[in-house]
Structure 1
Amino acid sequence: MIVGLTGGIASGKSQVSQLFEEFGIEIVDADIVARQVVEPNQPALAKISEHFGKTILLADGSLNRSKLREIVFAQRHQKEWLNALLHPLIRQEMLRQLEQAKGAYKILVAPLLLENKLNQLVDRVLVIDTPIDIQLSRTMARDGVDKQQAQQIVDAQMSRKLKLQAADDVIENNSDLNSLKRKVADLHQFYLDITKSHDS
């Protein structure tokens, strides 16, 4: 069974996935995969430097992310080109890692699980839900942005309401770490029970 874990910015996705990892559950993280496919010696990086020129690389041959971000931010067609190159590769690599992951169930962590239709790859959708004011204050503290910028980031994401409508399971991350640990432990048990009943 594959569980897709998602949530808005600063909702606590990485904290929750870490807690699942402590139960020995294998995690495939879309953000990490997205970095892996553009590492030096990967075909995608060769295509990117061919397309944008060698200046897109740092001295050590790795991708100059901030420069690439600037280009695709300013030129929509470049962003589309990049997405067309990377999205299938990221998807392929995520599937490969999910296939190799062992255990009763595994988790795919993806901030854009629903937006990028990655929920088609999973059996259950788990949304980490956080009240908007907590999301804003966490984003401001973590990313060093002001309230208006934090609000823009939140507004640019799929609405909380739509995410919750798509969810099979929800963890309310609005309290302390101990209560979060309890919620994860309960859900872990629930997932084990589901996988057991499927196996029998």
Structure 2
Amino acid sequence: MSEFIVAVTGGVASGKSEVTRHFEALGIVVADADVAARIAVERGSAGLAEVVAAFGDEVLAPDGSLDRAAMRRYVFGDETARRRLEAIVHPRVRASLRDACLAAPGPYAVAAIPLLAEGGGREAYPWLSRILVVDVPVEVQRARVMARDRVDAELAQRMIAAQATRDQRLAIADDIIVNDGPVELLASHVAALDRRYRALAAARG
């Protein structure tokens, strides 16, 4: 049971997934907010029923699952609709992440929460012990988005601008990995943090 819980967050193309893979390689359980969000509205779930009650049957695919493209169109540019959807999904995601982390074997657990700064930070997740921000300069982030998603600089910049700013993420950080170098360096950064987290978790008892 892991009561010491570390959140990993960062902007698009910062390298969050690579960081969490290194934690997993060290035997640490990682609970993923994106996975929890999909489960929260999977076919037959109470979450999906609540989404349909709020938005109507037009957000359902023919097989009864959530039509994610239709849902995106519904909330795109509509702040009220987006907040209504988040009010359904986010509490379920937070509860799922916490349960998964508390049930995890090992000295501590990791919660991968890409939109932590956007989703309320510590106020929304008061049970987090530490927040690790995977940080990259915006110009590096933009270049990675362009290469990864094969988009132009303008669209890449819009994707970055749709998220919290770099300063907003850094403002909630307890620990920071600056991931602007070779991917091979991440292993040593994560190993150092792993030692630190194990020590902090042991000290907490």
Match for residue 203 of structure 2 among 192, 197, 200: 197
Measured on the aligned residues, the alpha-carbon RMSD in Å equals 1.6
Query: Who is 1:114 aligned against?
Result: 117
Tell me which of 32, 35, 45 is aligned to 1:32.
Answer: 35
Q: 1:1-200 residue pairs with structure 2 within 5 A?
A: 1-119=4-122, 120-199=126-205
Residue 74 of structure 1, CA deviation: 4.4
Q: How many residues align?
A: 199
CA distance in 2, matches of 1:146, 1:72: 24
Aligned equivalents of 2:144, 2:172: Cα separation in 1: 24
* Cα-to-partner distance string for 1:95-129 (whole Å, 9 max, x where unaligned): 22222122101111111212212432311110101
SS at match of 1:14: helix
| Unpaired runs of at least 5, structure 1 | none
Indicate conservation of the 8 Å contact 2:121/2:172, yes or no.
no
Q: CA deviation at 1:65?
A: 0.1
In structure 2, what residue type is equivalent to 1:71? Y
Please list every run of 5 or more consecutive structure 2 residues that lacks an aligned counterpart in the other structure.
none
Q: 1:93 is aligned with what amino acid?
A: S
Aligned residues with identical type, % of pairs:
38
TM-score (norm 1): 0.92
The residue type paired with residue 28 of structure 2 is I
